[in-house]
Amino acid sequence: MPLARCQPTARRACGALAAAVLALAALGGGCGRVAPTYEPATLTVRSTPASAAILIDGRATGQVTPFTFTGVSAETHQVRVDLAEWYADPEVVPVDLRPLDDVAIDFALFQTGVRVTSEPAGAHILVGGVDSGKVTPATVAGLVPGTVDISLAMDTWLCVPASLPVTVAEGTVTEVSPQQLQLRSRRTVMLESFGNVNCGTCAQAAGNLVNLCARDGYGPDRALFVEYSVSWPNPTDPMYLANPTENAERYTFYWVMATPLLLIDGVAQPDALDAAGPVAAVAGRWDVDPGFLVDVAAEPGVAAAVPVDVTLTPLRNVDLSGCTLYVALWEDLVTYATPPGTNGQTAFHHVFRDRVDAPPALGPLVAGAPATFELTLNRGAADPANVTVIAFVQRTADKTVLQAGSTAATVKWHRP
């Protein structure tokens, strides 16, 4: 390729142009560079049995197996098929198409297996103790007819029961519901808040806790909060006066000097008005395995004196020496027509009402040997439908709360 003659004033630029042209010629082997091709691909989808609807990238194509698609874009696609009462394993096949590719995908469809759902979703499905590679909700197909043990595995959660025997029949997919295999939080975090009706920011702090426990995944199996009242700046706070002795015992235990104050598992938070910090702090506590569970059963509707059974179930040997089992009762919601104090608050949540007079001291627990404590609380005039009984294990030396439970928990290890 002849190069243009350069004027002296343009010699440097012309030299650069010449170098660029020579480089292009070298890349093209002296005959010019061949432009890359973006030709579409061909994709064939088959299934056994046939006549399954074909979906590509989540969209129905209107075609059924077997079918060959032409003019398919050269990129990664997600392919699945759908046939009533049949299930594919795997359910979705990713295919990476290149220009001019001619690719075929074969789906094996089954009518023998299990369909497992859970709350929350995302748990690994184990068949006979082996991870199937599927997470809920999903179908594990192609199983041999007979009885198989199904279980779930998920970080910071436990499967209740540990496994479920399921009969798999030829030609059917057996449903396993969230009620049959339940997920229970491995740890329930205890939040304790201190306030007063004349504390200007206490209403905001209490609202943050209500919102925290209303978040998805932060229910009573995962987090509990109780509101205690202090005697200042208003000594006539009605929540404080309902049980001044035990309210005072609790705020003296923590040496509460100012309100609002929030403690998470016995640790004071730097800012009781911070809405985001406690959300992360609670989630961080779920990663710490206490090694035992707390189940609470109570009969608040029988009489003002409420009989309570608290069961501690060690999942491994656990030494709880130096720990105390605290058991208390709160009123779910207390409302006033006009604010009882100066902060404008009229609705109070999880208001502390009573605590077991002599909290049991604990000791070593042996795996497989639950310990049950029979106790009594006083609900006073509170509506039995408006109370919750809680229990938590606290280490005296550093005030750390190790585990908690309540009658509000939706999944029990020991069902009443």
pLDDT tens digits, one per residue of 321-364: 999 999 999 999 999 999 999 999 999 999 999 999 999 999 99
**What pLDDT is recorded for position 232?**
95
In CATH, the number for domain 189-406 is: 2.60.40.10
Structural tokens at position 251: 């705020």
Tell me the per-residue pLDDT of 288-306, one tens digit each, with 9 for 90 and over: 999 999 999 999 988 899 9
222 with 189: CB under 8 angstroms?
A: yes
Closest CA to 231 of 197, 203, 204, 272: 197
d(CA 227, CA 59): 51
For the domain spanning 41-110, the CATH number is: 2.60.40.1120
Amino acid 35: pLDDT: 53
Q: What is the pLDDT of residue 86?
A: 86
Residues carrying CATH 2.60.40.10, the chain: 189-406
Q: The tokens 């100012």 sit on which residue?
A: 258
CB atoms within 10 A of CB 273: 14
**Taking Cα atoms as reference points, which of 193, 158, 390, 392 lies closest to residue 278?**
193
pTM value? 0.78
- What are the phi and psi torsion angles at 149 (to 5°)? -95, 120
In this prediction, the residues of the chain whose per-residue pLDDT falls under 70 are: 1-37, 415-416
In the chain, CATH 2.60.40.1120 sits at 41-110, 113-184
What is the homologous superfamily of the domain 113-184 according to CATH?
Answer: Carboxypeptidase-like, regulatory domain (2.60.40.1120)
For 124-268, strand residue ranges (E) read: 124-127, 130-135, 138-141, 146-153, 157-160, 164-168, 173-176, 182-185, 189-195, 223-229, 261-264, 267-268
